[in-house]
Amino acid sequence: MNLALLSSEIAIVVLAVLLICFDLFMPHRETRRSLGIVAACGVLAVLVHSFTQYGTVGTVYGDYFVVDHLALFFKQVFLTATLLTILFSFGYVEKFTQNKGEFYALLLFALLGMMIMASAHDLLTVFIGLEIMAVVFYVLVGFDLENIKSSEAGIKYLILGSASSAVLLYGISWIYGFTGSLLFKEVAANMAATPAILMGLGLIVAGFCFKLSIVPFHMWAPDVYEGAPTPITALLAMGSKAAAFAVLLRVFLVAFAGLKLYWAPVLSVLAALSMIVGIVVAIWQSGIKRMLAYSSVAQAGYILSGLLAANAAGVKGMLFYIVLYMVATVGAFAVVVAVEEHSGSDAIAAFSGLAQKSPLLALVMTISLISMAGIPPLAGFAGKLYLFIAIAAQGYLWLVVIGFVMSMISVYYYILVVKAMYTHPVQDDRVLTVNGPLKLVAMVSLLATLFIGIYPEPLAELANAAARALW
Amino acid sequence: MFSQYALDHAWLIPLLPAAACMIIGVFLRRLPVLAATAAIGMSLLSFILAAGVAAGMFAQGITIEQPLVYKIPWLTLPGLAVDMGVYLDPLSVMMLVVVTLVALVVQLYSVGYMHGDEGFGRFFSYISLFAAAMLGLVIAVNFLQLFVFWELVGLCSYLLIGYYFHKISAREAAKKAFMTTRVGDFGLLIGILLLQFLFGTLDFQALPVQIPAYLVQHGSGLLTVVALLLFVGPIGKSGQFPLHVWLPDAMEGPTPVSALIHAATMVVAGVYLVARAFFLFSALPEAMAVIAWVGAFTACFAASIALTQRDIKRILAYSTISQLGYMMLALGVGSLTASMFHLLTHAFFKALLFLAAGAVLHGLPGKNDIFEMGGLRRKMPATFAAMVIGVLAISGIPPFAGFFSKDEILLAVFAVSKPLYAVAMVTAFMTTFYMARLLFVVFCGPEKSGQQAHEAPLSMKIPMAILGLLAIVGGYIPYTAGFGDWVRFGPAAHLAFDWKIAGSSTLLALAAIGLAWLIYGSGCNTAAVLARRSGLAYQLSYHKYYLDEAYLWLNHTLVDGFGKLLSWLELHVVEGILKGLAGLVGQLGNGLRKAQSGNLRVYGLVMFGAAMLMLLWLLFDPLLKGLLAGGGY
């Protein structure tokens, strides 16, 4: 067994345990920012280390845990997302009254769950990774004990999440029962379109769609996104979703590749529903976190549509989109955190006149939102282009038309926020201060969105290399 | 070796000014000294690199046939691959050297000219961005890259014309420039799209290979249309008739901008585009004829307007239009060498003329009318000297730069078409006449300005001296160094010399200077008399053939009328439909939002209900399909 392949996961576990120990011996009055810095540095180190892993591709624990380009790609996405989240949550964590230190350790455990999902090559490992991540998120969503909404969101997420896990596990048991294996490759080898296996497939689709917040399994998302501490909302939108997609790719394109005829129509309808519902309901939201929640429902629909192409071009489009969505989301949520700290509210009205108070934050928010809407020359445009071209080539022109129309409509509510920031009067004359790490995250998001949009080829090439690992 | 380093790192040439723009824009807006230092430093580095590239080109024998190209994929999609890269051949290397050199000199000059201006940092940031865009255009490897930078230089031109944005005329001029060149860019874009459609590539190396085969197979009809559409871009950008109207107004920008952008570099982008795509144009005789005649007409037409203008910068602007027409004419008759040679010398002497004019305006603030100046020779001897060199160079008096390049054009035109040659000679006469008029009226005669005119500071004199030197030797040195062996299309074109043409054009220039002296310089008050006598012709020329008014009328009646019609349609038809649609979407959203009650049981119900439906679909869909197909399950 080649332990070097597990080095990233081991490092994250060690780091998380160390953080808990440090926290234990720290005086109570300490702000725990130092823990955050240690966590950020550690994650950064693992991220850098992961680039050296591109040479050593292989499997561990038999075939149950695979490290290939696809897994590495996703791990880097998770590591980056977690790193940026840690960086912009320093200020936010300080307002918690207790358990500040555990926050960072829990983030790392969630990261561990995601990384296991990226490498999982059988249904049980998938489930273990998923549960590690999900349980940690149940805790983190309800982490802000002072805030009743946070607790409510935590409970809701716990109940609905457990139900969906049960559905997923039930589906897995059907598949195991009728193919005799949990390994993706063996499942694929024993695949047949029997009712029992279709039953299992349907249950697994339902279970994943919950994690992806695909309509009609999305109803938890707005409530949870709104109630959760904002950095956790960001990580839910970026990491949890991307992790579910990492698994989805292997499950549908390896294990269930033979049943494409059956799952493709279902998923295409779900993707279309997500785009439509996510976008038309987002129009009505007055809170930015709820708005971004619905927007993330729609974005999940866009990403899911790439799966229908069931080829390298489609997967490349999905991976590309996942990265650009992460980059835009981290920018948007960093700004939300800053505004929330300043005004204590996440209503869109709280963004009035932000351009005068902090031109940088307003610019970052604008660029992030417009990139999500898919306007050139920003990253979102290139992402939608890759996705649409891939699925149109496979005959899903109707889905492209829906996606196209919906992204036009989505511009409306994104621009509403921009309008508030640039044209509405400033509401109070308090100075908005932004701490260094948050500013750094905002700048990184801004530059990355611009860079990917203007010069998409490097990321597209990286995504392409990762996508080819599936075939 | 430095030249090797320069060849390998030619991509830095546009990147350095771009970096300067970013640095100034972000950090140095309020720090004039540092801003100027950053801009000039980057320009200097980029000029050194360009010079290194030129040296490398000579050393390694990079020719038109064997360019040095390196590129990276920028966007790869099925059926569409776009690269970005660096295309180095004698043509682009010449442009690199000219652009970096003139940009450097003009920036040096701007330190003195813009001294104390409120937007000093902004000015240097814009002008660095312009240099970056122009250099990116020059090294483009395909039409798309060229187009991207083409638009970017247009943006910079807009920003810099409207630099004094508190002046209404400057704002209007900026808008006019942008809109007018837009018309041209639209044609260019359609041409580029058609090329991509026809050949599946826009690459400057791949297209020349495919075009001959295409011509054999399909004839030249469609390709001529494409070429003419492409040529619409240069008509706009290089101020050819009938889209030249923006260039005189562009003089609202600061004078260094006029020198750099609206005389030496950006406006020749159109000429450069035609030269770069010469593989296409030269294969289409009809397109070439159009280019030649548009160029010749523009040259003659603009020169005839310049004869009567009174604003010093406008005279130079019409002169620029006229000279650009000359370059187009040379391209149209098939002589890329002559055109590029004139582009080179023109960049030097026209920039010099503008800088000298800028020095005059700097010394006499608030005065633009040449008839209010007069007698500045004694007060501004250095500026006078610069202006004399510039005028002699543009007039084509040997041994100044313009002589060699103008002669080359006349020779090329003479060989192809006698009527065009006649037009070119008339233009040459008029050119010399109005330039001499400018010189005599501004610098000779009695001093008219009551105020104290003063000579330009040293930081403005040095750039003028550099350009003055180039305007003297910039023709002779390339001429003897075998310019035609390097910058050419097809076989090596040795720069020829014809005593008849050279002699007659020189005599004509001298005659024009003499005539101008008689009317404007000798002191007898013949100018006003002449203006009165020539009546209609004078009025036509002075009012630029009423073209601006005609466009305005066209705009007011046709465009506004059409706009009103569309506005009615928009208000009553389109908006009704859209409002209905928007209302529908809104209602849908509102309805769905209501389902989001916050009630956990509802959420669970929807979730499991949906899962059940999905299962039913999965299980029964194949069954149904099987039944429909008539088979058992």
Over the stretch A173-217, which tens digit does the pLDDT of each residue have? 999 999 999 999 999 998 888 888 999 999 999 999 999 999 889
Q: How far apart are CA B364 and CA B137, in angstroms?
A: 37
- The pLDDT, as a whole number, for residue B496 is 67
Helical pair A260-282 and A288-309, crossing angle rounded to 10 deg = 160
The answer to whether residue B627 scores a pLDDT higher than 70 is: no
Burial state string for A398-418 with b = 16 or more CB within 10 A and e = fewer than 16: ebbebbeebbebbbebbbbbb
- Amino acid identity, position A61: Y
Eight-state DSSP code of residue B450: -
- Listing DSSP states for B247-310 in one string gives HHHGGGS-HHHHHIIIIISGGGHHHHHHHHTHHHHTT-HHHHHHHHHHHHHHHHHHHHHHTT--
- The predicted structure's pLDDT at residue B526: 59
pLDDT per residue as tens digits for the range B105-140: 999 998 888 887 888 888 888 999 999 999 999 999
State residue A384's pLDDT score. Answer: 93
Counting beta carbons within 10 angstroms of the beta carbon of residue B577, is it exposed (0 to 12), middle (13 to 18) or buried (19 or more)?
exposed
Does residue B631 surpass a pLDDT of 50? no
Contact (Cβ atoms closer than 8 angstroms) between residue B295 and residue B342: no
Q: Within 13 Å of residue A453, how many CA atoms lie on the same side as its CB?
A: 23
Does the model's ipTM exceed the 0.85 cut?
yes
Q: Establish how many alpha carbons lie within 13 A of residue A49's alpha carbon, considering only the half-sphere containing its beta carbon.
A: 16
pLDDT of amino acid B532? 64
A174, A178, A203, A219: best to mutate for the B interface, most B CBs within 10 A:
A219
- The predicted structure's pLDDT at residue B632: 41
Which among B100, B250, B269, B79 has a CA at the least distance from the CA of B162?
Answer: B250
Choice between B274 and B475, residue whose per-residue pLDDT is larger:
B274
Residue of A nearest to B583 (CA): A280
Of residues B484 and A287, more confidently modeled: A287
- Kindly tell me if the per-residue pLDDT of B362 is higher than 50: yes
pLDDT tier, B292 (very low <50, low <70, confident <90, very high otherwise): very high
Report residue A31: phi and psi, to 5°.
Answer: -80, -10
Contact between residue B511 and residue B433 where contact means Cβ atoms under 8 Å apart? no
Local structure of residue A204 (DSSP, 8 states) = H
pLDDT at B633 over 50: no
Task: Please report the DSSP string for B297-348 in residue order.
Answer: HHHHHHHHHHTT--BHHHHHHHHHHHHHHHHHHHHHTT-HHHHHHHHHHHHH
Task: Estimate the share of chain B in helix, then strand, then coil, as percent rounded to the nearest 5.
Answer: 75, 5, 20
Distance of CA B265 to CAs A439, B485, B597, Å? 40, 23, 64
Residue A339 has pLDDT above 70, yes or no: yes
Contacts of B74 in chain A (CB under 8 A): 455-457
Among A81, A110, A95, residue whose Cα is nearest residue A144: A95
Q: Are A216 and B610 inside 8 Å of each other by CB?
A: yes
Residue B85 phi/psi, 5-degree rounding, is -175, -160
Mean pLDDT, chain A, as a whole number? 91
Average pLDDT of the residues in A427-436: 83
Cross-strand pairs, B199:
none
- Cross-chain CB nearest to B622 (options A219, A262, A460): A262
Q: What is the pLDDT of residues B225-268, one digit of tens each?
A: 999 999 999 998 988 888 888 888 888 888 888 888 888 888 99
* Contacting residues of A for B618, CB less than 8 Å apart: 198-199, 201-202, 262-263, 266
Provide the token pair at B583.
């209302």
Interchain pair B619, A199: CB under 8 A: yes
Mean pLDDT estimate for chain B: 85
Segment A316-343 shows an average pLDDT of: 93
pLDDT at B432 over 70: yes
Parse chain A into domains and list their residue ranges: 3-470
Region B96-110: mean pLDDT is: 91
- Contact state of B607 with A216 under an 8 Å Cβ cutoff: yes
- Which H or E element spans position B215? helix B206-218
Q: Measured between alpha carbons, how far is A396 from A309 in angstroms, rounded to an integer?
A: 8
Hey, CA dihedral for B50, B51, B52, B56, is it positive or negative?
Answer: positive
Q: Do A386 and B77 touch (CB under 8 A)?
A: yes
Q: How confident is the model at residue B381 (pLDDT cuts 50, 70, 90)?
A: confident
Supply φ then ψ for residue B77, to 5 degrees: -130, 160
Q: Kindly indicate the confidence band of residue B531, based on its pLDDT and cuts at 50, 70 and 90.
A: low
Res. B301: pLDDT tops 80: yes
pLDDT average, residue stretch B389-412: 87
For residue A3, give the DSSP letter.
G
Q: What is the pLDDT of residue B169?
A: 86
Q: What is the mean pLDDT of residues B385-410?
A: 88
Q: What percent of chain B has pLDDT over 90?
A: 21
φ and ψ of B91, to 5 deg: -60, -55
User: CB–CB of A74/A246 below 8 Å?
Assistant: yes
Q: How far apart are CA A319 and CA A253, in angstroms?
A: 14
Give the model's pLDDT for residue A397.
93
Report yes or no: B32 and B84 within 8 Å, Cβ to Cβ. Answer: no
A324 CB-near residues (< 8 Å, 6+ apart): A371, A379, A380, A382, A383, A449, A452, A459
Which residue in B415, B424, B418, B353 sits closest to B388, CA to CA? Answer: B353
Q: Are A36 and A15 in contact (CB under 8 A)?
A: no
Question: Is B604–A277 a contact, with Cβ atoms under 8 angstroms apart?
Answer: no
Contacting residues for B4 by C-beta, under 8 A, at least 6 apart: B56
- The pLDDT value recorded for residue B146 is 92
Instruction: Report the candidate in B428, B439, B441, B434 with the shortest Cα–Cα distance to residue B396.
Output: B428
Residues of A with a Cβ under 8 Å from any B Cβ are 156, 159-160, 163-164, 167, 193, 195, 198-199, 201-203, 205-206, 210, 216-217, 219-220, 222-223, 262-263, 265-266, 277, 280-284, 313, 382, 385-386, 389, 393, 409, 455-457, 460-461
Q: Is the pLDDT of residue B617 over 90?
A: no
Q: Which residues pair with B84 in a beta bridge?
A: B72
Give the Cα separation of A365 and A348 in Å (integer). Answer: 12
Cβ–Cβ under 8 Å, residues A247 and A126: yes
Question: Which structure tokens are listed for A117?
Answer: 């999902």
Q: Which residue of A has its CA nearest to B610?
A: A216
Structure confidence at residue B527 (pLDDT): 60
Residues in A closer than 8 angstroms to B622, CB to CB, are: 193, 198, 262
Cα–Cα–Cα angle for B416, B422, B424, rounded to 5 degrees: 85
- CA-to-CA dists, residue A213 to A297, A343, B11, B75, angstroms: 6, 29, 46, 31
Chain B residues closer than 8 Å to A222 by CB: 596
With beta carbons under 8 A apart, name residues in chain B contacting A159: 600, 604
Q: How many CB atoms lie within 10 A of CB B221?
A: 10
- The single-letter DSSP state of residue A426 is P
Highest-scoring range by mean pLDDT, A164-173, B419-428, B432-441, B587-596: A164-173
Amino acid at A359: P
Q: Which two tokens stand for residue B500?
A: 């008849």
Predicted confidence (pLDDT) per residue in B495-530, tens digit: 667 788 888 888 888 888 888 888 877 665 556 666
Task: Determine contact, residues A367/A449, Cβ cutoff 8 Å.
Answer: yes
Cα distance between residue B332 and residue B355, in whole Å: 30
Tokens of B21: 């723009």
Q: pLDDT tens digits for A53-82? A: 887 788 888 888 999 999 999 999 999 999
Cβ contacts of B466 within 8 Å, gap of 6 or more: B105
Q: What are phi and psi of B142, to 5 degrees?
A: -150, 170
